Amino acid sequence: MQMTFRWFGQSDSIPLRHVRQIPAVVGVVSALYDVAPGEIWPAPDVDRLASTIDEAGLRFAVVESIPVHEDIKLGRPARERLIDNYCASVESVAAAGITTVCYNFMPVFDWMRTDLAMSLPDGSTALAFDEAALAEIKLAIGASDLPGWSTRYDAAALASLRNAYSDISEDALWEHLEYFLLRVAPVAESAGVKLAIHPDDPPWPILGLPRIVTSGAALERIVRMVDTPANGVTFCTGSLAPDPANDLPAMARRLGDLRRIHFVHCRNIKRTGARSFHETAHPSSLGDVDMFEVMRALHQRGFAGPMRPDHGRMIWDERGRPGYGLYDRALGATYLQGLWEGVSRSESSGANAV
Ligand SMILES: [Mn+2]
């Protein structure tokens, strides 16, 4: 397992020299944030980002994400050119020596929360989601009331996209994902890149938009859909756990048996009702994710890829991007590393005893 940390490039308020000081973090997860979805990632720009990370004593381990243009998800004719562009971006990433690409296939919103700073009893704040609160938000006036989305879509763009998806069933979305993977996975395979689809967050349809990457069965369907080792998943505990039907250690074992877990996001959440939850600090005792059993399942299946702490709370008066402060994520990385060391050593000593 290689511990990594997400970094949003030069505009991130957390410098790479601080990331380097988090115990056991060896890799960085980043992206070209200034390339519009659907455009080709220029190879020299990927190279420059990789050099910046190298110079900080770290390694550019994972691209998260190359966004999938809405026209690909909608199955519009423009997807032909956009999928070619996606393949070219994968090749640019491969040329810079990066071997894992995270992406998602969520219509319009690639995550959704109704509160970016819910106060927890200890005085920290965390991201939260509540279906009833979402229903209260009046989308007729656009995304300006959706926490985190006010700058991405204006009212007209959002209305037009929501309207376009009103014709797209879950079956159609599955077909569009398969069409995309049939073209992109072979390119990734020859370039030596592992694709890692991120589950939908939260794992159910929102605002009338279809969502399909919501369960272990869905993730298994995806990896079997185009049966190449290059076609895998990002195992994101915090995205899958809000649905109590998702048995995370069992899912890690099954996908691990298939050798298709290419990237791991670890985050804990506390369910507070049907389709309602808030994020917590990483330890198992603080939320509904049994992080120890997830680590044990991954270790037993020989997981050797990149892992990162996912969102953290805001603690110690830190200000910054919701979910992506330094302190709680650093604590998470250290906790995860500790669990991993414990699981690794107890299993190897068990083997020795035999
Ligand atoms: Mn995630």
Residue of 69, 198, 278, 282 with catalytic role: 198
Assess whether 324 carries a catalytic annotation: yes
2-113+170-353: CATH class: alpha beta
Backbone angles phi, psi at 127, to 5 degrees: -75, 145
Which three-class secondary structure state does DSSP give residue 283?
coil
Q: How many CA atoms lie within 13 A of 338 on its CB side?
A: 9
How many whole angstroms from 265 Cα to the centroid of ligand 1? 5
ω into 144 cis (within 30 of 0): no
Active site residue 165: no
pLDDT at res. 354: 45
DSSP string, 20-79: HTSTTEEEEEE--TTSPTTSPPPHHHHHHHHHHHHHTT-EEEEEE--PPPHHHHHT-TTH
Annotated catalytic residue 198: yes
Catalytic residue among 86, 103, 165, 324: 324
Catalytic residue selected from 12, 71, 153, 236: 236
Question: Would you say residue 146 has pLDDT above 80?
Answer: no
**Mean pLDDT of the chain, nearest integer:** 93
Q: What are phi and psi of 280, to 5 degrees?
A: -135, 175
pLDDT digits (tens, 9 = 90+) for 217-232: 999 999 999 999 999 9
| Cα 95 from Cα 45, distance rounded (Å) | 11
Beta bridge partners of 118: 126
Q: Is the dihedral of CA 197, 200, 201, 207 positive or negative?
A: positive
Q: Which of 255, 202, 204 is nearest to 231 (CA)?
A: 255
291-310, pLDDT tens digit by residue?
A: 999 999 999 999 999 999 99
pLDDT given at position 86: 98
Q: What is the pLDDT of residues 183-197, one digit of tens each?
A: 999 999 999 999 999
Would residue 262 show up in a list of annotated catalytic residues for this protein? no
In this prediction, residue 351 carries a pLDDT of 57
d(CA 78, CA 88) in angstroms, rounded, equals 16
Concerning whether 236 is annotated as a catalytic residue, the answer is: yes
Q: What angle do CA 347, 353, 354 make, to 5 degrees?
A: 95
- C-alpha–C-alpha distance, residues 67 and 64, integer Å: 9
Query: Is 158 within 8 Å of 139 (Cβ atoms)?
Result: yes
